[in-house]
Amino acid sequence: MQVNSTPAGFVVEAKIDHLPEELVVSIDRSSNETAYNCFLDDRKLAVLYKDPYGIWIQRWGRLDAYSLSSLSAALEAH
7-34 pLDDT per residue, tens: 468 999 999 999 999 999 999 988 888 9
Within the chain, residue ranges assigned H as helices are 65-77
**Residues above pLDDT 90, as percent of the chain:** 78
Per domain, the residue ranges of the chain are 3-77
CA angle at 19 for the pair 16 and 24, rounded to the nearest 5°: 50
3 vs 61: CA distance, rounded Å: 22
28-63 pLDDT per residue, tens: 988 888 999 999 998 999 999 999 999 999 999 999
